[in-house]
A = this chain, B = another copy of it.
């Protein structure tokens, strides 16, 4: 068993990571960090957590727990300021270490890139112990587009996400009265996942996110012009993947089949009127878009089975 610590456990990403670690056959939870819950028992976060778990400590104390792997579920600033203990695998679920260009990192996150590698296992396996876990939107867009990168010159990415993607912090846009029975585009043409997609795809895309009145789940509808056989390229890219499922012709990704899981679904279509290729990717923003991918990255860095601890089975309605 390798030892795992979670910092920032009280947020959505933290709790979801905890969920995966608790069910992981190769990881043992040694520290539960949360500055807001420090000193309280695990059940203070959720009554489903029982007394055998360690109590919450401060994040700083959790970082010194001697863990083999640390999951950083902090906000961008705290993640940027974090000093990784030597010899420890660290997976950063925030955005602080995703952009490798100095100017871009500074512009979008106020950070300086360091020795972190981007880890999206199917496309960009992590290259060292310090791993920048991709953004949820970026994961969906890249899964849909990277296999086509050689044959396209741009893309429109129209994305829709459940509200947990915006985190637990209190803001008007996440108030239920703003979300229920509504749909709202936001950060139109200016969202920080756009430079992340561009960096990994090798070209800029036009990216617009929309906030859905659902708790979790994300769908990206991607539009490209290409002469290539998109279906063949995507099927080849994910033929061996236990995580990404390319749907058969005519089948459409939707949120219900990926919610609560660490899987992604891809559907491929050709527009009858314009010949545009439409690639749709669905995933759970808290699963493959956050905690599931973080555990998958950690597994690779620790030499464990890639899908250990992931939620990939089952067919709930």
Contact = CB atoms under 8 A, between A and B. Distances in A.
Contacts of A7: none
A144 interface: no
A180 B156 CA distance: 27
A205 B274 contact: yes
Contacts of A198: 273
Interface stretch (A62-70, A247-255, A294-302): A247-255
Given A47-B251, A48-B257, A219-B183, A175 B174 contact: yes
A204 interface: yes
Interface in A238-262: 245, 247-248, 251-257, 259-260
A255 B181 contact: yes
B271 A189 contact: yes
Nearest to A215: B180
Contacts of A245: 47-48
Contact of A214 (B181, B189, B204, B313): B181
A194 B49 contact: no
Given A183-B219, A210-B160, A46 B175 contact: no
Nearest 4 A/B pairs, CB to CB: A189-B271, A176-B179, A170-B170, A158-B158
